Amino acid sequence: MNYSNILVASDNNIATITVNRPTKLNALNSETIQELHEAFKSLENNDDIRVIILTGSGEKAFVAGADIAEFANFSIAEGEQLAKQGQELLFDFIENLKKPVIAAINGFALGGGLELAMSCHFRIASDNAKMGLPEVTLGLIPGYGGTQRLPQLVGKGRAMEMIMTAEMIDAAAAKNYGLVNHVVTLAELLEFTKSIATKIMRNSPLAISKAIKAINANYKDGVNGFETEVRNFGKCFGTEDFKEGTTAFLEKRKSEFTGK
């Protein structure tokens, strides 16, 4: 499929999606959000793809925010619809994807860009990265899940400070806060991220999918995460991956998982 705002490539069962609007610092607009949704949906249904990496083009920005010109004149109802549709179409969609999604943050991740990174299952940053939620400087609040996911990752107090001051933090602070897992040089970022993706691919795709579901359940209102874990633990016993994993362990050989 041809896209106008993103690039999609795959190699060794790893797909890389690159937001490709360098003249706009990869800012998110409605067309880009739609294209990202379509790309993630297609890759989730592609049996050859085991891990997805999300990054930005160039050396300055992962995604520097939302395209403000697109919604500057919106009404209350239009603003609410913008947030609701974006969350459903992309941010919640990524969070609940069956395949692991790693954000490789290669520069500015601000506003909707940081919210996009936080919707991924975990994050790796280049040492030049800067992160923040500056929405209150525009008379807004984060609308793509930022007020929910940031406290989950860094704690309520730090999230309150970041959102209320609208100040950016650097990659070292982001790692200290638990917002990103690793910090590497820009030159190393994609290869390092792919090395973690390769480790993930050694394991059962079905088990990873069920682990994602169980972990996410802990953050959903009205859902008992322990019950979700028990249910998905049980489901693993009916898979070929479970039979292969236990047989390989007992036979002292490496597992060859099929994802079935």
- Which CATH code fits 6-201? 3.90.226.10
Residue 67 has pLDDT above 90, yes or no: no
Q: Is the CB of residue 53 less than 8 Å from the CB of residue 99? A: no
Look at residues 25, 24, 32 and name the one whose alpha carbon lies nearest to residue 4. Answer: 32
Per-residue pLDDT tens over the stretch 86-107? 999 999 999 999 999 999 999 9
The predicted pLDDT at position 49 comes to 97
List, edge to edge, every strand of the sheet that includes 169-170.
61-63, 108-110, 130-132, 169-170
The predicted pLDDT at position 119 comes to 98
Tokens of 256: 């060859």
Residue 1 has pLDDT above 80, yes or no: no
Task: Output DSSP code: residue 135.
Answer: G
Please report which helix (H) or strand (E) contains residue 132, including its range. strand 130-132
Residue 189 has pLDDT above 80, yes or no: yes
CA distance 34 to 89: 7
Could you tell me which residue, 259 or 44, shows the higher pLDDT? 44
Could you tell me which residue, 164 or 67, shows the higher pLDDT? 164
CA distance 26 to 7: 12
Active site residues: 115, 135
Look at residues 16, 13, 15 and name the one whose alpha carbon lies nearest to residue 259. Answer: 13
Q: Is the CB of residue 15 less than 8 Å from the CB of residue 9? A: yes
- Provide the H-helix boundaries in 57-188: 76-86, 92-95, 112-119, 146-154, 156-165, 171-177
Look at residues 199, 204, 217 and name the one whose alpha carbon lies nearest to residue 245. Answer: 204
Q: Give the chain's radius of gyration (CA, Å).
A: 19
pTM: 0.96
CA distance 194 to 34: 25
